[in-house]
Structure 1
Amino acid sequence: MKAPVILGAIIGVFTGPLLPGAGALSAKDFGQFGEAWPIIEPDLFQTIKAKLVAAEKSGKLDDLNARFAQRVKQKVMRPSPVSGIRPATQNKTWTFDPSVSVDRNISDDKGHLIAVAGQRVNPFDYVSLSQELIFIDGDRSSEVSWAMAQGSDREVKIIMVNGSPFEAMKEHKRRFYFDQQGTLSEKFGIRHTPATVQQTQNVLTISEISLDGGMQ
């Protein structure tokens, strides 16, 4: 038998029943072997409830709650650092325009029209930034000391991108804040600390400041 004929025979054994025009396949009942069990799909919530009840009885639930509470406390006391921010090694300054375009008419509480839809509005036309913002790495003592020397709580707001604001408040007896998820750092384009943000007329002036070449 030639090779193509052999190959065709092998392919036919496996694919013949699937090819168009092939003969019908026969099915034979061989009966039932062994015990048959019904297919049961347990209710998910009942399963979870049962596991929780069992965990509560064994004391595991209290342990899980305690560990969860401890993790939450740790996150609150020391939030996750803002990624991508390093100590400044050179001074850099730029401006940020806070103006926004409104998508609808805006009125004050007395019904007076403040802005119309499509108008570009600068919030500094109506309010001012009462405090200078200072962004620091709270784990770097040089940055903490430098930031506190820039003014009192009324004059500056110290915002950490790393470290524990609660530990700093306890140690230095003044307020510290944290840039949660790097929202402000990202908005202002801050990539190095310490950095300051202050109002200059109708824009914000942002500066990254090198302290001793970035060494602690």
Structure 2
Amino acid sequence: MARAEETRSWEFDPAIVVENDIRDHQGNLIAARGQRVNPLATSGLSKKLVFVDGDDPAEIEWALGHGSDERAKIIFVDGSPFESMKTHQRRFYFDQEGKLSSHFGITRTPALVEAKGDLLLITEKAIPRRQS
């Protein structure tokens, strides 16, 4: 995935339209066919999602600035989260096959996903980098 050369943001609506009735284990209707359901309306997004190239130290440092493990999930789109977990003594995650970044339309890193009411605000952020 490419580095963000300029900062850009957009809103993402996570709502879906239910294709079939959804019922719980007792047969109670949870959502009716055709109903629009937004998961943020009921459960919210408890942590920021921070997407980074795990091979880029500048992106990892930027991500670490977005909060503790309880406040932000740092998700690698490249690199080894296991080595970084040892170094930084916190959890890191990996975007398997780019499914999450593709779902949100993220094409550049670092990127931040955070709740904004019933929407998600996605920002690909241009950050300062050291010259080699």
Same structural fold, with TM-score higher than 0.5 when normalized by the shorter chain? yes
Report runs of 4+ in structure 1 exceeding 6 Å deviation.
213-216
Aligned residue type for 2:53: D
Give the aligned partner of residue 150 of structure 1: 66
CA distance in 2, matches of 1:203, 1:214: 34
Identity within the alignment, %:
48
Higher relative contact order (CA 8 A, sep 6+): 2
State the 1:198 CA deviation.
0.7
Aligned residue type for 1:207: T
State the 1:126 CA deviation.
1.8
Q: Whose Rg is larger?
A: 1
Give the aligned partner of residue 141 of structure 1: 57
CA distance in 2, matches of 1:214, 1:121: 44
Matched, 1:88 2:4: yes
State the 1:108 CA deviation.
3.7
Unaligned runs of 5+ in 2: none
State the 1:197 CA deviation.
0.3
Unaligned runs of 5+ in 1: 1-84
Please, what is the CA RMSD of the aligned residues?
A: 1.7
Matched, 1:121 2:37: yes
CA distance in 2, matches of 1:215, 1:203: 37
CA distance in 1, matches of 2:68, 2:3: 23
CA deviations 1:135-192 (Å, max 9, x no partner) are 0001110110111111000000000011100000011111011101000010001011
Matched, 1:170 2:69: no
CA distance in 1, matches of 2:49, 2:130: 20
Q: 2:115 aligns to what SS in structure 1?
A: strand
Of Structure 1 and Structure 2, the greater helix share is in 1
